[in-house]
Structures are given as C-alpha cells and as structure tokens.
Chain A
Amino acid sequence: MAEVRAEMVANVWQVVASEGDSVAEGDTLVILESMKMEIPVLVEDPGTLTKLAVAEGDVVQEGDLIAVIE
C-alpha cells in the first residue's frame, strides 16, 4: 500500500482520477495549485486507487493525505 501525501500547502484545483481506477506510474491523480502554479500529483507506485482523500476546492497542508494506492 502506498500513501500519497501533499508536498506543500496548496489548493486542490482538479481531481483527475477516481476511486477504483487502476493507475500506472506517471498518471496524474490530482492537480494542486499554489502561488499561481499548477502542480500535478503523479502516481509513483502502480496499483488500484482505493482512496481519494481530497475534493476540488480543498486546501491541503504539507503532509496531508491525498490518496491511497494498493
């Protein structure tokens, strides 16, 4: 199981993937926005996206859980 966490304080601009999706390395899960810059959060370990912990418009803090991939 791999947890994907936010690297910085940011707003969640777009949720690209959905729970239940099978995801490959390099796929975009969500796109964060911070300081007028879009920061895509990418899959590092392939698997099934079992949990998406954020929704569009949320504010995430550094270290907050974004998704779980199993």
Chain B
Amino acid sequence: MFGSVLVANRGEIARRVIRSARRMGIRAIAVYSEADAGLPYVAEADEAVPIGPAPAARSYLDVRAVLGAARTTGAAAIHPGYGFLAENAGFAAEVIGAGLTWVGPPPAAIEQMGDKINARNLMERAGVPVAAGSREPVADVAAALAEAERIGYPVMIKAAAGGGGIGMSAAGSEAELTAGFATARTRAERFFGSSDILLERYIERARHVEVQILGLNDGRVLALGERDCSVQRRHQKVAEETPSPGITPQLRARMLAAASRAGEAVAYRGAGTVECLVDTQAQDFVFLEMNTRLQVEHPITEMVTGLDLVEQQLLIADGGDVSFAPDSVRAAGHAVELRVYAEDPRRFLPSPGVITEWSEPSGPGVRVDAGYTVGNEVTPYYDPLLAKLCVHGDDRDQVLRRARAAVADFHIRGPKTNLAFHTELLDSDEFASGRYDTSVVARLRP
C-alpha cells in the first residue's frame, strides 16, 4: 500500500478522505488556500501545505500549485475529492505522468464521460437507455430550434462539459429556447471553458435516482445500490435517501444492471455514480450522466452497506482487492442525507459569515460530515455546503423520526442556514409520503 496521499480538496470532503487514510495508516496531506487555513481538515491532516490565495482558480484549481505541493511533501498518491480537479482528465494524466498514484478512474474514462454528448452516444451503444436528445453539439439558435422540433418540447438546455446543475434550464417553447440558449452558452463558456450545448427531452415529474458503482481491478463493475436525489433547488441536490421510495424492485434491478454496463463500457475503476431520471408513472428510466469520482452523498450508501467507500477507492487505486467479498454486499435499513448549506431557508440565497455557534447532533444512526466548526469563517469563494447530516435506521419511518430530532438538535449561528427548510421538508406530506419528484422544493416554495 502507498504510504501517503495528498487530498486536493477542502472542507468536509477533505476531512472525510483524511479520516479514512489515517485509519488505514496512510499519511494524509492537506492543501489549503489563504481563506481555509483555520478549517478543521487542515488541523486533522498529518501535514498541510498552503497553495495560494482564496479564489479557487489560483489555489484548488491550480494544477501547478497542487502538483508542487505533492512534490515538496513527497506524496505518493493524490485523491481529488469531488469538484475542483476531480473530473479533469488532463490533471489525472499529469498525476500519473509524475509517477504518482491517481485515486480515481483512468483518465480515458473521465474524458469519455466528461463530454455529455459523447457519454450519451456511448451509453446508447452500450444498451443503456437515454432520453431523446442531441447526438452532436448544437451550433446556434436556428439549429437548436430545429433540434427541439425533432426531440419535442419541453427540452432541457445543458452545457456539454457541464455539471453541478450550473447553466441548465428548461424550455417549453421556441421563445424560451431562444432566450435560454444564449444564457446557457455564456454560462457554459464561463464555468466550463466550452460553449458546446446539447438539448435533451425534459421529463416532467421525474425522480432523480443514481446508482453507486465500484470498478474492481479484475474488470468487474459492482452496482452498490441507488440513491434518490429528487429534492433539489436550482437543479442542485438538497437531500438524498436510499433506497428510493419511488422505484419497484424490478426497476431497481434493471437500473443496477444498466449502471454496471455503463461502467464496463469505459473500463471503469474505483468509485463512480451513474445518474438517471426515472419516470415513476411508467416505471422506466434514462441515463443522465456519469460522475467519475466520489459523490457528495456517498455516506448514505456507506450507512446501508457498511462499507467505507474511500477505503475501497484507496485499495483499488493501489491495484489491490477491495476489503469485502464482492458478491456479498447487502443493503440494510434506510438512510437519508440532509445537506446543510450556508443560505437563507426561504429564498436559498448565499449567506457567508463567521460561525459563532456550532453544535452537532448525535445519537443512534446519526453521522455528521462537517467542513466547519465554531470560529471558522464561511467565505463567498466556494460552494455553500457546511455539513452533511446523515441518518440511518431500520426503516424509513424511523429514519425520518431520527432526522427530525437531529435537525432540531443542530445549532449553527453566524451564517444563515437551511436547517429550517429541512424541518419543513421532513414535516411535509409530500416528502413524508415518499411520493415526491424533482419539483418538490418548488411546491414547498411557490
């Protein structure tokens, strides 16, 4: 096993990776920007290196700075977390080229899945269902209108190189498409450095359900169950649960099999996620995209399977076997993750600031993955995720009861947080019934 790993990330996910690495006896090295020097992950690492000023482009996204830190600390491996450089195939190739171990899938798999148009075409060929949509980039508004005519309205406008819900919008008419196309192009260029746009048939009243996969070194791709991520605001996830209350065992079996095929089609290694949209009426699904890295909401899969997914990533990256018998994974009980964001609970607008009180809940089945603690400043430079409140139990009812108590017992002062929204969500008839879809937040906030 390699002796050290540099975590090229910040906040809760850096802390999460450092925890598993240290437990396995691997020296954990953190990197941090000027804005993050006081965060818990920096203190918990065996060694921590400053890599630049607050803006991500000059620190966490600076390939030279990250590789320089790896060189000076003698790191043997790099774990990218999620976001930042995690799905940058060029960075992965440079890590490998520098003689280090890359804790992630082969660069070719990242590249194939990174372009959403290419990924759709690849999945279609592998027998994974995709929604009606673009097979090549849509060049201009005229081409978009023609393409939408073929696909049928409403359509979703997406950045081919995109992710995280940024720049996505739905269009129900030619006028909306004309307006939305220009905005999407500008945002795609700004956030992802490529203005390639694709259109996809927009499925209304759908659920967003994803499958956790794990590619082993013998070529097998395991499907470790699904996560329902339908609770979203601005196309970004707010709460997730497993198992999904909206799919039948038959549909689950088909989705898991398709997710394995998707991974095999790109010779996947390590942890990844196949995102799908589910039409609950028809009990059918289509491929959405594949995230070639550890997912934010991975803890709920860990809670029901009993596996440490970061440990498996490190073992696979080292070329070895995973810690469990691949045919023996069984999910037990139910789990929910609530994302605690620094934002007001009404309009979900960002709320940076200094944390003056921080008190986490605890108890049976409760796990908190936090990036901050009292005294830290939440700055405007990065995403608003403060912590992930994860709750496990025997069944959904018990989990929702435990989650309500845990939310009430989580005390944060300083920045505004969305904890009050989580209380509302857990108490809503729609969420409690399990019969919700991706519009549930919009219905709670008309």
Contacts and interface: CB of A to CB of B under 8 A. Distances in A.
Interface range on chain B (Cβ under 8 Å from partner)? 10 to 19
A35 B166 contact: no
Nearest to A39: B349
A36 B352 contact: no
Interface in A6-32: 7-11
A8 to B, nearest CB: 6
A35 B371 CA distance: 15
A53 to B, nearest CB: 18
A35 B353 contact: no
Tell which of A8, A39, A59 has the most Cβ of chain B within 10 Å. A8
Contact of A9 (B166, B343, B352): B352
Interface residues of A, number: 12
A1 interface: no
Nearest to B343: A35
A11 B382 CA distance: 11
B384 interface: yes
B380 interface: yes
B349 A9 contact: no
A33 interface: yes
A36 B380 CA distance: 8
A51 B377 CA distance: 31
A10 to B, nearest CB: 5
A34 to B, nearest CB: 4
A8 B166 CA distance: 21
Tell which of A7, A9, A11 has the most Cβ of chain B within 10 Å. A9
B382 to A, nearest CB: 7
Contacts of A36: 164, 166, 382-384
Contacts of B166: 36
B350 interface: yes
A33 B379 CA distance: 12
B35 to A, nearest CB: 11
A22 B377 CA distance: 39
Nearest to B378: A35
B439 interface: no
Interface string B152-171: 00000000000010100000
Contacts of B353: 9
A44 to B, nearest CB: 16
A36 to B, nearest CB: 5
A59 B383 CA distance: 17
Interface in A50-70: 59
A36 B348 CA distance: 13
B342 interface: yes
A62 B7 CA distance: 33
A9 B414 CA distance: 13
A55 B383 CA distance: 23
Tell which of B164, B350, B353 has the most Cβ of chain A within 10 Å. B350
B121 interface: no
Given A34-B352, A35-B343, 9 more contacts: A7-B349, A8-B349, A9-B379, A10-B350, A35-B352, A36-B164, A36-B382, A36-B383, A39-B349
20 contacts: A8-B350, A8-B352, A9-B352, A9-B379, A9-B380, A10-B350, A11-B380, A34-B352, A35-B342, A35-B350, A35-B352, A35-B380, A35-B382, A36-B164, A36-B382, A37-B349, A37-B350, A37-B384, A39-B349, A39-B350
